[in-house]
Amino acid sequence: MKSASCYQKAHSEVAGEQGFVIDTSFVLFFLAVEFGRTFFTLSLDNVFLFATLLTVTVLPYFLLPNGKPNFGSWLLGRSLIAGLAILLGVMFKQSLGVALPETFRFLPMTLLIVTAMLSCYIQFYGFLKLRLAK
C-alpha cells in the first residue's frame, strides 16, 4: 500500500513539471515569433526581446524542483522551438500586406500576452493550491 502512495506522489510531481515545461514552451514560442517579426530592425526593443528570449529558453530548467533532464537535451529542444518560431515570425512579417492584412502585425504580441497571462495563472495556482496534510 505504501508503494502505491509513493507512486501516486511521484506521478503527480512529474505531471506538474511537465505542465510547467509545456506552458513555458508556449510563451517561448510566441516570444520567438514576435522576435522574428522584428528581427531585421535594429532597436533597443530587439535587444530586450533577445535577452528575454534567452532567459525564457534557459531559466525554466533551473526552476524545476527535481528530476531534471540533461541540460544539453533541454537546451537543444528549447532552441529548436525558438529557432523554428523565429523563422515563422520572419515569414509572418513577409506575408503582412501581401497575404495577410497589415492590422495582423499585432497578432504575435497579443498571443504572447495572453499566453504569458495563462502561464502566470497556472504557475501561481500550482504554488498556492491547497494540499492535504498527511
pLDDT single digits (tens) 63-90: 877 778 889 998 999 999 999 999 999 9
Q: Integer distance in angstroms from the first to the last C-alpha of the chain?
A: 15
Read off the pLDDT of each residue in 52-70 and give the average, rounded to a whole number: 87
| DSSP one-letter code for 38 | T
How far is CA 43 from each of CA 3, 36, 50, rounded to the nearest angstrom?
57, 13, 11
Higher pLDDT, 124 or 113: 113
pLDDT single digits (tens) 29-49: 999 999 999 988 889 999 999
Q: How far apart are CA 29 and CA 81, in angstroms?
A: 6
Query: Distance between alpha carbon 35 and the CA centroid of its chain, in Å?
Result: 14
Q: How far apart are CA 16 and CA 77, in angstroms?
A: 19
**pLDDT for 20:** 64
- pLDDT at residue 9 greater than cutoff 80: no
Q: Residue 67 region, left (φ>0) first, then alpha (ψ -120 to 50), else beta?
A: left
Higher pLDDT, 15 or 39: 39
Portion of the chain with pLDDT greater than 90, in percent: 49
Q: Are 38 and 27 in contact (CB under 8 A)?
A: no
Q: Are 52 and 31 in contact (CB under 8 A)?
A: yes
Q: Identify residue 37 by its one-letter amino acid code.
A: R
pTM of the shown model: 0.78
